[in-house]
Structure 1
Amino acid sequence: MAGFTGTLLSHPFDVIRTRMVSQSEPKTYHNTRQAFMTIARNEGRVGLYRGFLPTLMQIMPFSGAQFATYNIFKERWQQHYHADHISINIGYKHGHEIHIQSSFFCGALSGMVAKFLVYPLDLVKKRLQIRGFESGRGNKFGKTIHYQGFIHCIVHTIQTENLAAFYKGMIPSIFKSTLSTALHFWLYESLVKKLNNSD
């Protein structure tokens, strides 16, 4: 329910971001407020929630995979190192130590795995979000397919491209998820430890 509520409230901003990134010159949207008003006026609330179904479908498995794999990696870490962090010496002449926190490392791995599992839904979401925005994309980004909905987007992608197409642009998305999830778990666990120690 928390994931559903967060997605419901934040999805219009995700649509706006996708469209602002995908537009060509001359720009259709110059800022967030103008983009919001233009989409609402020309396409209605439907326009602000394009791609909502695949977004909703991915939030539960993504969160589930994130936490499940994090716990698995954390258990393996504890079994191997028996500590919350490890120190690695780098450099030969002037030794420097870097500390790797288990929460950061395991969070990075869990973010990578979770994003890989749900990425096809993320791609479908973004393709649906630019539906109705053909004029703003121009010819520089190639042909924009007018998908009729979630199922049509999946079927059309399989028929005209291949299964590998569902992982287009995955590498930068994996990097983003890896870093953001690592920071999420590291900051969360660090704050919890500090709060517990302050009691």
Structure 2
Amino acid sequence: MALKTENKNLEFVVKNLLAGGVAGMVSKTTVAPLDRVKILLQAHNKYHARHGVVQGLKRIITSEGPLALYKGNGAQMVRIFPYAAAQFTSFEIYKRYLDGIFGKTSHVDKFIAGACAGLTSVSLTYPLDTIRARLAFQISGEHIYTGIAHAATTIFKEEGGTRALYRGFIPTLMGMVPYAGLSFYSFEYLKFGCMKYLPNLTCNKYSKNTGGLVLAVPAKLICGGLAGAIAQSVSYPLDVTRRRMQLALMNPDTSHFAKGMVSTLVHIYKEHGVVNGLYRGMSINYMRAIPMVAVSFSTYETCKQLLGLDTGLTVK
């Protein structure tokens, strides 16, 4: 009996890792062009200092070519599969262990499970995010790095070893708690509301695995998009801080952003204020985050259904 339960749990974890990884890759590739423009705007790249979203996209296409919209996406895929796989899988596991602790009608456990899942995944994959940001920040003709391996070894050798690959990690962790927590909490809460109050409009009849209701794809997209918008609104300044710290040593003029999280926040505020500093690139972030989170949750939920994961993990 114990062996059977163990095998069932292992199968659950493996399938969740696959579903989460696929969801991450699909969602990130969907918004890769907007992701690159966001990085260029956040860190005030000299060629995009006065650009908006549309102008930034046009500039990249005309000066670097259409494929440049996906610069850094290779590193992103290397990072996002384990990141999303770890995040979704750990969320499911944390959620099962926390289920009922705060009462049957409470959704606080979803927030805590989401926050812990975000911390788990970002801790495992953060160096790859730093490398991806460096590659995406480069402009054609002014390349510092030739690829993922070269960027990793250069940063490691010239900027302080492993610590350099984790520059900006503290604001990332602080931002991940409200971002991941609110993302998962909001999606689960909206999903619950749709199933309870609007089943005829938002749900397919029944899951073949459990016999219960499941959200239709349009409802998944809407719930995921709203969850992404809510989470990004709260955590965005810390995302800007992380990017400025990651990219600080690529230009001598921005090296003061590498000193620490509080120092970087203060410098951003003093130099650019709230709108053009702490929330720089927020408009494009909504444009990318809403569809990204919508596609991510929708793909994950769909993969779960295809893999027969409507049932849970036995934790006791």
| TM-score between the two structures when normalised by the length of structure 2 | 0.51
2:269 aligns to what?
A: 158
Structure 1 residue 172 and structure 2 residue 284: aligned? yes
Q: Secondary structure at the match of 1:131?
A: helix
Comparing 7-16 with 67-76, greater Cα deviation is found at 67-76
Distance 2:196 2:237 in 1: 34
CA RMSD, 1 decimal:
2.6
Residues 29, 35 of structure 1: 8 Å contact kept = yes
Paired with 2:188 and 2:237, the residues of 1 have a C-alpha distance of 24
Count of residues in Structure 1 that have an aligned counterpart in Structure 2: 180
Over 3 Å counting, the alpha-carbon distance change for 1:192 and 1:51 in structure 2 is: same
Match in the other structure for 1:105: 222
Is 1:8 aligned to residue 123 of structure 2?
yes
Amino acid at match of 2:148: T
Q: Structure 2 counterpart of 1:112, which letter? A: A
Structure 2 CA distance for partners of 1:2 and 1:105, relative to 1, 3 Å: closer
CA contact (8 A) 1:18 1:129 kept: yes
1:173 deviates by 2.3
Structure 2 unaligned residues grouped into runs of 5+: 1-115, 204-215, 311-316
Q: Name the one with the larger helix percent.
A: 2
The counterpart of 2:294, out of the listed 159, 168, 182, is 182
Write the distance in 2 (CA, Å) between the matches of 1:54 and 1:127: 11
Q: Is the 8 A contact 1:4 1:56 kept in 2?
A: yes
Q: Structure 1 vs Structure 2: percent identity of aligned residues?
A: 29
1:73: which partner in 2? 190
When structure 1 is superposed on structure 2, of 183-192 and 151-160 the one drifting more is 183-192
**1:21/1:185 CA distance change after superposition, 3 Å:** closer
The one-character-per-residue Cα deviations of 1:36-65 (angstroms, maximum 9, x if unpaired) are 111111111121111111111112211111
CA displacement at 1:150 relative to structure 2:
0.5
Change (3 A) 1:34 1:113: same
SS of residue paired to 2:254: coil
CA distance in 2, matches of 1:75, 1:4: 24
- Mapped contact 1:50–1:131 kept (Cα < 8 A): no
Equivalent position amino acid for 1:46 in 2:
R
* Alpha carbons 2:217, 2:298 under 8 Å: kept: no
Aligned residues of 2:194 and 2:202 also touching (Cα < 8 A): no
Name the aligned partner's letter for residue 128 of structure 1. Answer: M
Range 146-155 or range 178-187, more displaced: 178-187
Higher fraction of strand:
1
* 1:78 positional shift: 4.1
Aligned mates of 1:32, 1:71 — CA distance in 2: 36
- Structure 1-normalised TM-score? 0.78
The aligned amino acid for 1:9 is L
- Give the match's secondary structure for 1:154: helix
How do residues 1-199 of structure 1 correspond to structure 2 at under 5 angstroms?
A: 1-24=116-139, 25-43=141-159, 44-78=161-195, 81-83=198-200, 85=202, 101-134=218-251, 143-147=253-257, 148-164=259-275, 165-194=277-306, 195=308
User: What is the distance in 1 between the residues matched to 2:303 and 2:287?
Assistant: 24
Kindly indicate whether the alpha-carbon contact (under 8 Å) linking 1:78 and 1:84 is maintained by their aligned counterparts in 2: no
Contact residue 112 and residue 175 of structure 1 kept, 8 A: no
1:30 alignment partner, SS class:
coil
Instruction: Tell me whether 181-190 or 9-18 shows the greater mean CA deviation.
Output: 181-190
